[in-house]
Amino acid sequence: MISIFIPVHNEGLIIEENTNKIIKFLNSKDINYEILFGENGSVDNTLKLVKKLNKKDPDKIKYITCNKRGIGRVFRRLITEYNFNYLVTVDMDLSHDLNFIIEATELLKKGYDIVIGFKKGVNQKRLWYRKLFTNVNILMCRYLLGLPYKDFGAGAKSYSSEFLKGKENYIDNLSFFTTKLFFYGKKEKAKISQVPVYCSDTRKSKLNVVTLPLYITYHIIKFALIRK
């Protein structure tokens, strides 16, 4: 079975429609799957809609929730409280091509520990400041941490359960945890693959475009100084 992890925060306007799109896509591929929502600190009707989706199909749609915002918070709970074989992260806005789920699953079944989806070249549709932040993040991780990877965002990433086992202490409350997982994966000589993913991400960011880059930059530098 493939487990699809979708972090959700104030996604009331799109969660039902986009969940149905994911279900339709997965059913067309005839694969065994479950959807795991990670609701974190929403103040709209997101949690209510998550519960509605769960009630409609409790075998396929499950959820965890915490009362504070932070993808890392719910991801940490997920890997400590749920049993799964393969985990693929998907953003609720469906900004990444859903075919990544199929590609990542095939690679994980072949023995890879991590599959990194990276945003594909000139064809991607993204706001300029998102592209700038992504490029700066990649360069900092390359030169300060020695990581040769092309994307460090949480979306369009996948992991085997064996790799994530015992790594809950690496998971911060927000979004730096992917970088740490990739670092320790490389250090442990885990099998890591990168695949290009088409990205269409033009909606206004719900995260502060100043504080998030500062948060990531601070943690990259801090981790570069204390890494073991």
- Least trusted range by pLDDT, from 44-48, 121-125, 130-134, 173-177: 121-125
81 found inside a domain: yes
Indicate the burial class of 177 (C-beta count within 10 angstroms; 0-12, 13-18, 19 or more).
buried
Q: What is the pTM of this model?
A: 0.92
**2-8/33-40 β-pairing:** parallel
In a domain, 133, yes or no: no
Cα angle 154, 156, 157; round to 5: 70
Confidence of residue 56 (pLDDT cuts 50, 70, 90): very high
In a domain, 161, yes or no: yes
Residue 113 lies in domain: 2-123+151-201
What's the token pair of residue 212?
A: 């998030």
Residues in contact with 138: Cβ distance below 8 Å, sequence separation at least 6, in sequence order = 149, 150, 151, 152
Average pLDDT over residues 44-73: 96
Number of separate helices (H) and strands (E) present in the chain: 8, 9
Which of 123, 78, 130, 85 lies closest to 104, judged by CA?
85
Tell me, yes or no, whether 210 lies in a domain: no
Is it the case that residue 130 has pLDDT exceeding 80? no
Residue 171, domain CATH: 3.90.550.10
Q: How many domains does the chain have?
A: 1
As a whole number, mean pLDDT of residues 99-105 equals 97
Strands 114-119 and 192-197: parallel
Q: Is residue 171 part of a domain?
A: yes
Q: Residue 226 falls within a domain, yes or no?
A: no
41 within domain boundaries: yes
Q: What distance in Å separates the CA atoms of residue 129 and residue 3, rounded to the nearest whole number?
A: 31
